[in-house]
Amino acid sequence: MRASLATLVIIGAVAALVALGVTDQVIPATDERTLSVRPWVAARALGITAYLLLALEVAAGVWLSHPRNSGDPRTSRVVFPWHELLTVFTGAFLTLHIVLLAVDPYAGVDWIGAFVPGFSQYRPVPVAIGSVALYAMIITAATAKWTRLLPAGWWLRIHRLGALVFLMAWVHGVLAGTDTVALLPLYLFTGGLVLLGIAHRWWSAIGPAQRQAAASIPVAVPLRRPEPAPASEES
């Protein structure tokens, strides 16, 4: 994964802006409560941004691996750099999401709760799903970068975990988020689009011959009692 200097500068600038915003440097808070919930509010906005970036990242991956595009160098040339960049930006926004939640005393997620599934005081199960999604995401990205460390073809098998990462992030966002009711149309729209993309890719990959074979599996015929043999006329 190539993160150019420009990419790192952008990520650093976003992090600096977040730090300025949540530490009362840009717009001084008018009351104590506003001051205390700022990191929490910023963390939520960063979580939603990370989720949307992840949806785009997975969509770009599905696009690349779709049988219609996978052999086409023009598609790879255009879409692959986006897939990589989206991975870097998802990671950066996620890092900010997690760090702010870990340092913020408002709900008591804490560092241990952020990284050890089940140890968060705040919504332990949904937060645990987020942590597991994070680890699965790191594994998917790291194995794609260092493919030579694995037996041939393994990275791709592991990379398919990406669909599961998205599913876990979706469930985490819906269950952990305070804004779920307002954001439900967004979750349904983005989740539905990614799901449709994955289903279409899978359907195209199994191929027409296999589809036909699957369709021609004989349907179970209900068992019928054998007809009684006609009674012989002699008896």
The residue range among 31-39, 138-146, 170-178, 213-221 that interacts with ligand HEM, by the rule CB under 6 A, is 170-178
Residue 156 CA to residue 141 CA, distance in Å, equals: 11
Q: Which one among 64, 137, 163, 198 touches ligand HEM, defined by CB under 6 A? A: 137
Asked if residue 128 binds ligand HEM (CB under 6 A), the reply is: no
Minimum CB distance to ligand HEM, residue 62 (Å): 17
Residue 177 CA to residue 48 CA, distance in Å, equals: 9
Asked if residue 183 binds ligand HEM (CB under 6 A), the reply is: yes
Asked if residue 176 binds ligand HEM (CB under 6 A), the reply is: yes
Q: Indicate the residue type of 49.
A: T
Q: Indicate the residue type of 47.
A: G
In the complex, residue closest to ligand HEM by CB? 177
The neighbour count for residue 199, using CB atoms within 10 Å, is 11
Asked if residue 114 binds ligand HEM (CB under 6 A), the reply is: yes
Asked if residue 105 binds ligand HEM (CB under 6 A), the reply is: no
Closest alpha carbon to 49 in 17, 15, 97: 97
CA angle 64, 4, 53 (to 5 degrees): 50
Dihedral of the alpha carbons of 84, 161, 99, 92, in degrees to the nearest 10: 10
Q: Which one among 11, 22, 58, 98 touches ligand HEM, defined by CB under 6 A? A: 98
Asked if residue 121 binds ligand HEM (CB under 6 A), the reply is: no
Are 60 and 82 in contact by the 8 Å Cβ rule? The answer is yes
Asked if residue 51 binds ligand HEM (CB under 6 A), the reply is: yes
Residue listed under structure tokens 């870990």: 102
Q: Which one among 122, 124, 164, 171 touches ligand HEM, defined by CB under 6 A? A: 122
Residues binding ligand HEM (CB under 6 A): 44, 47-48, 50-51, 54, 94, 97-98, 101-102, 109, 114, 122, 127, 130-131, 133-134, 137, 169, 172-173, 176-180, 183
